[in-house]
A and B are shown apart, each in its own frame.
Chain A
Amino acid sequence: MKSSPRQSLGVLVLVVVAVAASACGGGESTSTDDATAVPADTDVAMTAEEPAGPTSTEAAAASSAMASPTATGAASGAAVDCGGAVGVMGPFTGDAASIGQEQLNWATFALDRFNTDNGTDFTLAEGDTQLDPAQATTVAQQFISDQEIIGVVGPAGSQEVEAIGPIFDGALAFVSPSATSTDLTDGSIEGFFRVVPRDDVQGPTDAEYMISELDAGNVLIIDDQTSYSTGLADSVAQTLQDSDVTVDTDSVNQDQTDFSSLVSAIGDDVDVVFLPWQIAANAQVFAQQMTEQGKQATIFGSDGLFSPDDFTADGAYVSSFAPDIRGIPEDEELVTAYTEEYGEFGTFGPPVYAAMQAVLTAATTTCEEGEPSRDAVLAALPETSIDNSILGGTLTFDSSGDIEGADFFIFQIQDGEYTLVQ
């Protein structure tokens, strides 16, 4: 093994070059220090065939979203002398940074439009949670002690909502644009609202689609042993069994790299394989191994797999808690304006816009002498109603803080593009 120094140097250089190339290889890894960075999934070309959601046909809708605060009867159109800060919590850096950056861009976009349209003077306070509950509690403590902040949009994850609930403790309203865990709105967390549907809507929606559209008679459900996954698996299994569909279950773990033996065991009579997973790259491997072994069953993924960058199995279905707003005619102007300023976007951004709209509207309508109070915003939110919301239809909250009439949406992957099918 004796080698001359020159040889060793050559090998070392080769390796350093390879490692460096590997580091740069990701290319699209999000630059986290640039607030206006385009989210990683810029090549998402989602095409929608039909308008999503209960779209209102009212013609007035051209300037759909940021119309004036019509909620509880504030003067609309005229400039309102009102200001204050909205706290925005999200994973702006870390593993979920591509989601967080999209959320932050949409929050800034919403704020600018609202201020322009209403002559208000609101500002944004950023709080980076990195999708970590511990980090979220630190941010929450900063927000609660900053008297400028009159309401909060975020945080992104259900586990973070649980962590900061006791800190806000009904003193500060917070509206999450993406937390879907069912328990959050059971009354245990005061002052919490969300603009996305609950997970107990997702299970039945997915199951019914499998029955009615995919004619599934035999479904294999594979969970990944996390609480998100097993909960959703149970909910889908329940709905399927109520309709006499045969259900088999199995599970994997998130670190697994090889699913080929599990795939081998999938019988020819299985119509649909349901994967309530959170790691899209795993589902991609699973799908490839099904192709490799010539398995015909259709893959159906939960919202955790909604990732046009990492999961592109042709013909697979994926559900999502937000519609593709490019399919809503009333949103056309918004989509163009956003895309011009920030570039492409996925499904995590538009709900932030809706949440910002709700908080700002509640603040503006309760403004007294230019200053909305935290209590007034909290009291006004349940009464707030937004016509022609960006998510389609009228946005209102029910008594528990959930959005009324919220649906899950289903996409099919066709030639690498996510296409809205329901």
Chain B
Amino acid sequence: MSLFLQLLINGVTLGSVYALIALGYSMVYGILKLLNFAHGEVYMIGAFIGYGVLTAVGGPAAPVVPVWLLVIGMVVVAMLGSGVLGVIIERFAYRPLRNSPRIAPLISALGVSFFLQASALLLFTARIRSYDTTEFISLGTGVDIGPARISLVRLLAIGTAVTLMVALTVLVRQTKLGRAMRATAHDREAAAMMGVDVDRVIVATFFIGSALAGAAGVMVGLVFGRIFHLMGFVAGLKGFTAAVVGGIGNIPGAMLGGLLIGLGEALAAGYISSTFTDLIVFGLLIAVMLLRPRGLLGTPAVDKV
């Protein structure tokens, strides 16, 4: 029982990271029908921006600001930075190709992905960096839940993810921008005719999706410590899988998918063997695709006339 609880905690932590990444994939796909394969790299850059903030305020051992302010600063600056990066990517790599065949922006996305990876290699070298979170948030602090314990830094990460997801839901459901986003996702041309500024909506979508990935990058840095220039690839793949499992284009679906993938990974590693976690996770993807080709919460295709 204690093992199960501990694995749940591990799985939810991992799941909230995947969910944040999946949201960016899903939102962009929902509006542009584009798989933004550079999304994993945006997450990687977010992690490095957080590291930059950490270094700028004196490093993990002796930050000149209080720890709570440091963490908020890292998350906020990384979100802004990643968001702007997402907007730049959209402007220069996707917008010129918006009316091209769908394969063109896909190739462009792969190109951007390699470009960002190589840039990070040149800028930061291949050395693995560490947030050294234990220096400013003690490993020992945490909350005991029965026989298992959840450390403060995990609580922080899960809390941040939940807050961001609630905020996103409110934004999409209740604001003017959210309504415009839903309208654009439903039918871009019709939305434009109704007076929605489609370009602005697309820019906003890229900004929000990329900002969430940036936050995920900082969370991974805080909880798991190590960041490096290739970290975006596997995380991006898992985030994409989560988006597809939940039903790509569907926002609650991305959250559910992320959580399921995280939990699946944790339970597989704990109960079966960590050798086969990826096998099990991608097996889950295949199973969902066979039973529900549009994902768990995906809506059936509607032919547009």
Query: Shortest beta-carbon distance, A361 to chain B, in Å?
Result: 37
Among B21-29, B89-97, B104-112, B222-230, the stretch that binds chain A is B222-230
Are A19 and B52 in touch, CB under 8 angstroms? Answer: yes
Q: How far is A380 from B304 in the complex, measured between Cα atoms in Å?
A: 83
Query: In the complex the two chains form, is A255's CB within 8 Å of B56's CB?
Result: no
The answer to whether B134 and A19 touch across the interface, beta carbons within 8 angstroms, is no
Question: Please, how many angstroms separate the alpha-carbon atoms of A293 and B77 in the complex?
Answer: 31
**A-contact bits for B89-133, CB 8 A (1 contact / 0 none):** 000000000000000000000000000000000011111111000
CB distance from B210 to the nearest CB of A (A): 12
In this complex, the interface size class of chain B, counting residues with CB under 8 Å from chain A, is: 35 or more
Residue A15 lies at the interface, judged by CB distance under 8 Å to chain B: yes
Candidates A11, A18, A252, A288; contact of B52 at CB < 8 Å: A18
**Chain B 142-166 per-residue mask, 1 if CB under 8 angstroms from chain A, else 0:** 0000000101000000000000000
A26 touches B125 (CB 8 A): yes
B77 contact set on A, CB distance < 8 A = 14-15, 18
Specify which of B51, B85, B230 is in contact with A22 (CB 8 Å cutoff). Answer: B51
Q: Which of A20, A94, A255, A264 contacts B234 (CB 8 A)?
A: A255
**Which residues of chain A are within 8 angstroms of B243 by Cβ–Cβ distance?**
none
Q: Could you tell me if B149 and A281 are in contact, using CB atoms closer than 8 angstroms?
A: no
CB distance from B177 to the nearest CB of A (A): 7
Contact B224 A285 (CB under 8 A): yes
Min Cβ gap A130→B in Å is 11
Q: Is the CB of B204 within 8 A of A11?
A: no
Residue of B nearest to A262 (CB): B274
Query: How far is B229's CA from A29's CA once the two chains are assembled, in angstroms?
Result: 15
Task: Check if A21 sits within 8 Å of B52, measured CB to CB.
Answer: yes
Q: Is the CB of B273 within 8 A of A250?
A: yes
Are B128 and A279 in contact, CB atoms less than 8 angstroms apart?
Answer: yes
**A261 x B7 contact (CB < 8 A):** yes
How many angstroms from the CA of A262 to the CA of B53 in the assembled complex?
31
Known: A11-B84, A18-B81, A310-B128. A255 touches B230 (CB 8 A): yes
Number of A residues with CB within 8 Å of any CB on chain B: 46
Instruction: Take A18-B56, A21-B55, A22-B124 as given contacts and tell me if A264 and B270 are in contact as well, using a CB distance cutoff of 8 Å.
Output: yes
Contact A2 B126 (CB under 8 A): no
A1-B203, A2-B200, A22-B48 known; A15 and B266 CB under 8 Å? Answer: no
Interface centre among A17, A264, A288 (most CB of B within 10 A): A264
Given contacts A19-B49, A21-B52, A292-B151, contact A252 B234 (CB under 8 A): no
Q: Does A60 contact B (CB under 8 A)?
A: no
- Can you give 26 contacting A-B residue pairs, CB < 8 Å? A1-B203, A14-B77, A15-B49, A18-B78, A19-B49, A19-B123, A21-B55, A22-B51, A25-B52, A25-B54, A26-B125, A26-B127, A95-B126, A95-B127, A250-B273, A250-B274, A250-B275, A259-B274, A264-B10, A265-B270, A281-B226, A285-B225, A285-B226, A288-B134, A288-B139, A291-B139
Give me the interface of B with A, judged by CB distance under 8 Å. 3, 6-7, 10-11, 13-14, 45, 48-49, 51-56, 59, 77-78, 80-81, 84-85, 123-130, 134, 139, 149, 151, 177, 200, 203-204, 207, 220, 223-226, 230-231, 233-234, 265-271, 273-275, 278
Q: A18-B78, A251-B275, A252-B275 are in contact. List 18 more A-B contacts (CB 8 A).
A: A1-B203, A14-B77, A15-B81, A18-B52, A23-B124, A25-B51, A26-B127, A29-B127, A252-B274, A258-B10, A261-B270, A264-B7, A265-B270, A281-B226, A284-B130, A285-B225, A288-B134, A293-B6
